[in-house]
Protein backbone atom coordinates (compact mmCIF):
# COMPACT_ATOMS: atom_id res chain seq x y z
CA UNK A 1 0.00 0.00 0.00
CA UNK A 2 1.22 3.44 -0.87
CA UNK A 3 2.02 5.24 2.40
CA UNK A 4 1.80 8.53 0.52
CA UNK A 5 -1.97 7.97 0.16
CA UNK A 6 -2.30 7.35 3.91
CA UNK A 7 -0.49 10.61 4.68
CA UNK A 8 -2.60 12.49 2.14
CA UNK A 9 -5.75 11.17 3.85
CA UNK A 10 -4.35 12.17 7.25
CA UNK A 11 -3.99 15.73 5.98
CA UNK A 12 -7.55 15.62 4.61
CA UNK A 13 -8.79 14.35 7.98
CA UNK A 14 -7.10 17.22 9.78
CA UNK A 15 -8.54 19.75 7.33
CA UNK A 16 -12.06 18.28 7.37
CA UNK A 17 -12.34 17.89 11.12
CA UNK A 18 -13.63 14.32 10.68
CA UNK A 19 -12.30 11.81 13.19
CA UNK A 20 -10.18 8.90 12.02
CA UNK A 21 -8.13 6.22 13.72
CA UNK A 22 -4.57 5.48 12.70
CA UNK A 23 -3.37 1.93 13.33
CA UNK A 24 0.37 1.33 13.25
CA UNK A 25 2.19 -1.98 13.68
CA UNK A 26 4.70 -1.23 16.46
CA UNK A 27 6.09 -4.68 17.24
CA UNK A 28 6.15 -8.11 15.61
CA UNK A 29 7.31 -11.51 16.83
CA UNK A 30 7.57 -14.47 14.52
CA UNK A 31 5.94 -14.60 11.12
CA UNK A 32 3.43 -11.80 10.46
CA UNK A 33 1.79 -10.47 7.28
CA UNK A 34 3.14 -6.93 7.76
CA UNK A 35 6.25 -5.36 9.28
CA UNK A 36 6.75 -2.72 11.96
CA UNK A 37 5.66 0.67 10.65
CA UNK A 38 2.81 -0.63 8.49
CA UNK A 39 -0.20 1.65 8.76
CA UNK A 40 -3.94 1.63 8.21
CA UNK A 41 -6.21 4.67 8.42
CA UNK A 42 -9.82 4.06 9.41
CA UNK A 43 -12.67 6.58 9.01
CA UNK A 44 -15.63 6.72 11.37
CA UNK A 45 -17.68 5.36 8.44
CA UNK A 46 -15.52 2.23 8.34
CA UNK A 47 -13.69 3.22 5.15
CA UNK A 48 -10.05 2.25 5.35
CA UNK A 49 -6.82 3.07 3.56
CA UNK A 50 -3.91 0.68 3.88
CA UNK A 51 -3.74 -2.61 5.72
CA UNK A 52 -2.08 -4.25 8.68
CA UNK A 53 -2.49 -7.69 7.16
CA UNK A 54 -6.14 -8.55 6.58
CA UNK A 55 -8.20 -11.37 8.01
CA UNK A 56 -9.36 -11.81 11.59
CA UNK A 57 -6.45 -9.81 12.99
CA UNK A 58 -7.36 -6.78 10.93
CA UNK A 59 -10.99 -7.19 12.00
CA UNK A 60 -9.87 -6.94 15.64
CA UNK A 61 -8.01 -3.72 14.86
CA UNK A 62 -11.02 -2.29 12.98
CA UNK A 63 -13.22 -2.91 16.04
CA UNK A 64 -10.64 -1.24 18.27
CA UNK A 65 -10.48 1.69 15.83
CA UNK A 66 -14.24 2.27 16.17
CA UNK A 67 -13.86 2.36 19.95
CA UNK A 68 -10.86 4.70 19.75
CA UNK A 69 -12.70 7.09 17.41
CA UNK A 70 -15.65 7.18 19.81
CA UNK A 71 -13.71 7.49 23.07
CA UNK A 72 -10.56 9.30 21.94
CA UNK A 73 -8.53 6.91 24.11
CA UNK A 74 -5.66 5.19 22.26
CA UNK A 75 -5.22 1.42 22.53
CA UNK A 76 -2.56 -1.17 21.99
CA UNK A 77 -4.06 -4.23 20.27
CA UNK A 78 -2.30 -7.59 20.43
CA UNK A 79 -3.03 -9.59 17.29
CA UNK A 80 -2.18 -13.26 17.76
CA UNK A 81 -1.70 -15.23 14.58
CA UNK A 82 -0.79 -18.44 16.36
CA UNK A 83 -4.02 -20.46 16.15
CA UNK A 84 -3.91 -24.20 15.87
CA UNK A 85 -2.13 -25.05 12.61
CA UNK A 86 -4.65 -27.82 12.02
CA UNK A 87 -7.44 -25.27 11.69
CA UNK A 88 -6.33 -24.42 8.12
CA UNK A 89 -7.11 -20.79 8.88
CA UNK A 90 -5.51 -18.24 6.54
CA UNK A 91 -4.88 -16.10 9.65
CA UNK A 92 -2.28 -18.55 10.92
CA UNK A 93 1.15 -17.06 10.29
CA UNK A 94 2.66 -18.17 13.59
CA UNK A 95 3.47 -14.68 14.89
CA UNK A 96 2.16 -11.88 17.05
CA UNK A 97 1.73 -8.19 16.17
CA UNK A 98 1.26 -5.26 18.52
CA UNK A 99 -0.78 -2.53 16.81
CA UNK A 100 -1.11 0.98 18.30
CA UNK A 101 -4.45 2.59 17.46
CA UNK A 102 -4.85 6.35 17.98
CA UNK A 103 -7.47 8.93 17.09
CA UNK A 104 -6.57 11.62 14.59
CA UNK A 105 -8.49 14.39 12.93
CA UNK A 106 -11.84 15.66 14.35
* Domain spans, the chain: 3-105
Cα–Cα separations (whole angstroms), residue 36 to 72, 74, 85, 96: 23, 18, 24, 11
Per-residue pLDDT, 64 = 96
**pLDDT 10s digits, 5-63:** 888 988 888 888 889 999 999 999 988 888 999 999 999 988 899 999 888 888 999 99
Beta strands per DSSP E along 9-92:
19-29, 39-43, 48-50, 75-80
Per-residue pLDDT, 83 = 61
What does DSSP assign to residue 31?
S
Per-residue pLDDT, 94 = 73
**In angstroms, rounded to a whole number, what is the distance separating the alpha carbons of residues 43 and 9?**
10
Report whether pLDDT(71) > 60: yes
Torsion, CA 62, CA 66, CA 69, CA 72, rounded to 10: -100
Amino acid sequence: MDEKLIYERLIQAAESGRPYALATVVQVKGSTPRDVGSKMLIAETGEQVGTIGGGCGEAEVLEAAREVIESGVPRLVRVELTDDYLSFSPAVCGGVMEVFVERTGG
